[in-house]
Amino acid sequence: MTANLLDYDLDGLAAFCERLGEKRFRATQLFRWIHQKGAAQFDDMTDLAKSLREKLRTTAHIQAPVVLSQHISSDGTIKWLFDVGGGNAIETVFIPEDDRGTLCVSSQAGCAVGCRFCSTGHQGFSRNLNPAEIIGQLWFAEHFLRKHLGVDERVISNVVMMGMGEPLQNYQPVVQSLRVMLDDHGYGLSRRRVTVSTSGVVPKMDRLGQDCPVALAVSLHAPNDVLRDNLVPLNRSYPLQELMQACQRYLAFAPRDFITFEYCMLDGVNDTAVHAAELVQLIQSHGKQGWCKLNLIPFNPFPASGLKRSSNAAVQAFSKIVSDAGIITTVRKTRGDDIDAACGQLAGDVQDRTAVGKRIAKQRTFVLTPVFDAPESQRDNQP
What are the residues binding ligand SF4 (CB under 6 A)? 111, 113-115, 118, 120-121, 165-166, 199, 219
Among the listed residues 103, 321, 343, 360, the single contact to ligand SAH using CB under 6 A: 343
Q: How far apart are CA 205 and CA 183, in angstroms?
A: 21
Active site residue 91: yes
Sign of CA dihedral 278, 334, 141, 137: positive
Spot the catalytic one: 17, 22, 91, 133: 91
Q: Are 186 and 35 in contact (CB under 8 A)?
A: yes
Q: Quick one: what does residue 262 bind among ligand SF4, ligand SAH, none, with the CB cut-off 5 to 8 Å set by partner type?
A: ligand SAH
SS3 367: coil
Name the minimum Å distance from CB 297 to ligand SF4: 10
Q: Quick one: what does residue 341 bind among ligand SF4, ligand SAH, none, with the CB cut-off 5 to 8 Å set by partner type?
A: none
CA dihedral 123, 127, 128, 134 (to 10 degrees): -70
Return the closest-CA partner of residue 181 out of 313, 14, 6.
6
Compare residues 62 and 231 and give the one whose CB is closer to ligand SF4: 231
Please, which residues have CB within 8 angstroms of residue 138's CB and are 6 or more apart in sequence? 103, 105, 156, 159, 177, 181, 187
Q: Are 101 and 157 in contact (CB under 8 A)?
A: yes
Spot the catalytic one: 115, 264, 292, 343: 343
Q: Quick one: what does residue 300 bind among ligand SF4, ligand SAH, none, with the CB cut-off 5 to 8 Å set by partner type?
A: ligand SAH
Does 198 sit near ligand SAH (CB under 6 A)? yes
3-class DSSP string for 11-71: HHHHHHHHHCCCCHHHHHHHHHHHHCCCCCCHHHCCCCCHHHHHHHHHHEECCCCEEEEEE
Name the minimum Å distance from CB 202 to ligand SF4: 14
Does 199 sit near ligand SAH (CB under 6 A)? yes
With CB under 6 A as the rule, give the number of residues binding ligand SAH.
15
3-class DSSP string for 201-243: CHHHHHHHHHHCCCEEEEECCCCCHHHHHHHCHHHHCCCHHHH
Q: Quick one: what does residue 114 bind among ligand SF4, ligand SAH, none, with the CB cut-off 5 to 8 Å set by partner type?
A: ligand SF4
String marking each residue 100-139 x if it binds ligand SAH according to CB under 6 A: -----------------xx---------------------
Q: Quick one: what does residue 131 bind among ligand SAH, ligand SF4, none, with the CB cut-off 5 to 8 Å set by partner type?
A: none
Q: Is 224 exposed, middle or buried (0-12, 13-18, 19+ CB in 10 A)?
A: middle
Residues in region 283-302 near ligand SAH by CB under 6 A: 297, 299-300
Q: Quick one: what does residue 299 bind among ligand SF4, ligand SAH, none, with the CB cut-off 5 to 8 Å set by partner type?
A: ligand SAH
Does 142 sit near ligand SAH (CB under 6 A)? no
- Identify the helix (H) or strand (E) that includes residue 117: none
β-pair type (108-110, 125-128): antiparallel
Active site residue 278: no
Name the minimum Å distance from CB 196 to ligand SF4: 12
Widest distance between CA atoms in the chain:
69
Active site residue ranges: 91, 343
Residues in contact with ligand SAH by CB under 6 A are: 117-118, 162, 166, 197-199, 219, 262, 264, 297, 299-300, 343-344
